[in-house]
Amino acid sequence: MEHPETKAPPLVYLETYGCQMNIADSELITGILRRAGYGSAARPEDADVILLNTCAIREHAEERALGRLSDLARLKHRRPNLRLGLLGCVAQHNRARLVEKAPGLDLVAGPDSYRRLPEFLGQAGFDPIVDVRLDRGETYAGLGADHGVGPRAYVTVMRGCDRFCAFCVVPYVRGRERSVPPDAVVRECRELAASGVREVILLGQTVNAYRFAEVDFGRLLRMIAAIDGIERIRFTSPHPSDMSAGVIEAMAAEAKVQPHVHLPVQSGSDRMLVAMERGYTVAQYLELVQRLRRAIPGLALSTDIIVGFYGEDEDDFEATVALMREVGFDSAFTFKYSVREHTRAYRLGDSVSEAEKAQRLSAVIALQESISLARNQAEISKVRDVLVEGPARRGGGMLSGKTPQFKTAVFPGTPGLGAGDTAAVRIVSASSHSLTAIPA
Ligand code: SAM
Ligand code: SF4
């Protein structure tokens, strides 16, 4: 495509919704399109191509993306040459139906179709292109992503999911589990280190199920820990059932692996965990928490919780509340259950009213706020290493970064200290969302 007036490279405006995997995919897409001769536009009004990379995990997320799409489609009235594409999980979830739902759409491409984006965008034509084939072999290994600026970068190490939890659309929209070859992961981490990145966050829907030939997730952690320049390693999200002794040993043995685990539990009721097909019991989850805490001193834990899944009664909900109190998570993402087409629980529908779900959600949010505050207050007077990300939003010469426990710490800057440096700080006060510190 050529820009008609300036002959400058065609410009792409890309908007991203959803989880870290989608952010990482957008970096991949930007890399693919840049190498194909596209530039980036900061505003949709300036673009020749508008792409939305979407999330289908809950109905609300999907509706948001479709609403935005119809807003953006209006730009086409003034600029008929503008091309509009919907990418990612909503594209995969709705497939060809989208073309009827969203007039003005030129391209619908699922998460395994990004390699062919330049080809699709280059095809002039009147009929929309729909490519939503899932490809069990596609890992995009070796296709460089355009990582954002800053000392931290996402590295996708596996794609898809084989777990089929009853509520979840991910295996249907992202396809079956596959791991990126370890040499490609290591090469990407080395290049990131050379470009100034100090911390990598390894991504996968069940990241600790990573396996490529003989290399499992524990081995992969050790390989990345051996890279000079990478100072911190994190990963998200591990599945409780894939947290093998080998993974815990690697986390404990490698100082670069940071003491924070995001370990989604979803519910504190065994009855719900069975219905959700999560593959573990509350007792097994608690035992895993104990093993992790024993192996990794100063460990922070966060989680995902769903309230109002089909069949959840007051007792089930109280069991979730009790589990949250017992574990004392440092933070939690909490969601109202949203029925998703294609999933195993879809045909069951909803049994908990919207009002009840909203009430349960407010209760777990309020509880988590108080637990997070207590966990953060327990940090007061401790000295923690902070990887500096840059000036804090509150200004006044303050810097901001993350502690090893992935808590945001804000502290007064000192001359010469900037993004990518590590500073030892002493925590002096805490809220439920952040820590305030002074140089140690
Ligand atoms: N793979 C990760 C795991 O198993 O923990 C998480 C994947 S998902 C992108 C992130 C979170 O969204 C899940 O942990 C779950 O709490 C939530 N989620 C998934 N499906 C949902 C649904 N249908 N309704 C509400 N929340 C949902
Ligand atoms: Fe969804 Fe379960 Fe897979 Fe996580 S493990 S992505 S919740 S199916």
Per-residue DSSP letters for 157-172?
-EE--S---TT--HHH
Q: How would you list the strands of the sheet with 152-156, edge to edge?
A: 152-156, 199-203, 232-236
Most confident of 65-74, 101-110, 128-137, 193-202: 193-202
Does 7 have pLDDT greater than 80?
no
CA distances from 239 to 265, 295, 322, 324, 332 (A): 9, 18, 21, 18, 15
Residue with tokens 């924070």, as numbered in its chain: 260
Does 347 have pLDDT greater than 60?
yes
How many whole angstroms from 211 Cα to the centroid of ligand 2?
17
Count the Cβ atoms, other than its own, within 10 Å of residue 107.
22
Mean pLDDT throughout 268-284? 98
Residue with CA at minimum distance from ligand 1 atom 14: 304
Does 55 have pLDDT greater than 90?
yes
Does 6 have pLDDT greater than 60?
no
Confidence of residue 100 (pLDDT cuts 50, 70, 90): confident
Does 5 have pLDDT greater than 70?
no
Predicted confidence at residue 144, as pLDDT, reads: 86
Predicted confidence at residue 8, as pLDDT, reads: 83
Predicted confidence at residue 393, as pLDDT, reads: 93
Predicted confidence at residue 99, as pLDDT, reads: 81
Does 2 have pLDDT greater than 70?
no
Mean pLDDT throughout 407-429? 97
| pTM of the shown model | 0.96
Predicted confidence at residue 3, as pLDDT, reads: 53
How many whole angstroms from 201 Cα to the centroid of ligand 2?
19
DSSP code per residue over 114-141 = GGGHHHHHH---SSPEEE----TT---T
Mutational test site, ligand 1, from 163, 164, 168, 243, max ligand atoms within 8 Å of CB: 168
How many whole angstroms from 80 Cα to the centroid of ligand 2?
40
3-state secondary structure of 60: helix
Does 217 have pLDDT greater than 90?
yes
Closest ligand 1 atom number to CA of residue 167: 23
